[in-house]
A and B are shown apart, each in its own frame.
Chain A
Amino acid sequence: MNLAYRPRKTAFHMMDPITKLIWTFVVAWWLYGLRDLKSVVIVSFGVALLSFLGSRFNLMSFLKVSGVIFVGGWGLLLYQGLFRPGPGISIGALTLSYEGMALGFSLALRVFGLVAAGWAFSVSTSPQDMELAMVKMRIPYKIARVGYLALRLIPIFQRDAQAIDDIQTLRKVKKGTNRFRKSITALIATEFRLVDSISIALETRGFGLYETRTDLKAIRISVSGAALVIVTLGLMLLHYSILGLL
Chain B
Amino acid sequence: MINIRNFSYSYPENRSALKEVDLSISSGEFVLLAGPNGGGKSTLLQAILGVVPEYYGGELSGTITFEGKNIGEFGVVKLAGKVGIVLQDPESQISNLTVWEEVTFALGNLLLPKDEVIARGIEALATMGIASLKDYTVETLSGGQLQRLAIATLLAIRPKVLILDEPLANLDPLGVNSVVEAVKILKEHVDVVIVASHWLDPFLDISTRLIVIDSGRIALDIPSNSIGSYLDELRSLSVEIPQKILVRKMLSEQGIAFQSSDEPLRLPFGATLRMLSPLTAFQGRIGLQLRDVGYSYDGNLNRLEDVTFSLGSSSRVAVVGHNGAGKSTLARLLAGLRKPTKGYLTSKFSSVSMTTQKPGLGFITSNVLDELRYGTSLSVADAEKILVAYDLAKFAGVSPFTLSGGEQRRFSLAIALATNPDLIIMDEPTAGMDTRQVEFVQKIMEGFNGASVYITHDPRLVGTFLKEVIVLDRGRLAYHGPTAEMTKDIFELLGYGYTNATIAFALRYLSTGLPMVPSQIEVQNEPGI
Contacts and interface: CB of A to CB of B under 8 A. Distances in A.
**A and B together in one complex:** yes
Interface string B43-76: 0001001010001000000000000000000001
Contact of A164 (B80, B114, B137, B361): B361
B405 to A, nearest CB: 8
A198 B76 contact: no
Given A166-B354, A170-B352, A152 B94 contact: yes
B354 A214 contact: no
A214 B114 contact: yes
Interface in B87-117: 87, 89, 91-98, 101, 104-114, 117
Nearest to B337: A166
Interface string B408-433: 00000000000100000000000000
B375 interface: yes
Nearest to A161: B361
Contacts of B77: 203-204, 206-209
Contacts of A163: 356-358, 361-362
A168 to B, nearest CB: 7
B3 interface: no
A128 B97 contact: yes
10 contacts: A5-B97, A7-B135, A152-B96, A166-B337, A200-B49, A200-B87, A201-B87, A201-B94, A205-B80, A207-B109
Interface in B378-406: 399, 401, 405
The 5 closest A-B pairs by CB, nearest first: A206-B109, A206-B80, A201-B93, A197-B92, A190-B360
B296 to A, nearest CB: 14
Interface residues of B, number: 65
A164 B405 CA distance: 17
Given A166-B354, A197-B93, A214 B111 contact: yes
A182 B51 CA distance: 32
Given A126-B97, A128-B96, A171 B375 contact: yes
A151 interface: yes
Contacts of B105: 205, 207
Interface of B: 46, 49, 51, 55, 76-81, 83-85, 87, 89, 91-98, 101, 104-114, 117-118, 135, 137-139, 153-154, 157, 298, 332, 335, 337, 352-354, 356-358, 360-364, 374-375, 399, 401, 405, 419
Q: Which of B139, B358, B361 has the most CB of A within 10 A?
A: B361
B363 A170 contact: no
Q: Which of A170, A173, A199, A207 has the most CB of B within 10 A?
A: A170
A156 interface: yes
A210 B353 contact: no
Contacts of B46: 200
A187 interface: yes
A242 interface: no
Nearest to B54: A203
A202 interface: yes
A205 B360 contact: no
A202 to B, nearest CB: 6
B400 to A, nearest CB: 9
Contact of A198 (B79, B92, B106): B92
B481 to A, nearest CB: 28
Contacts of A172: 375
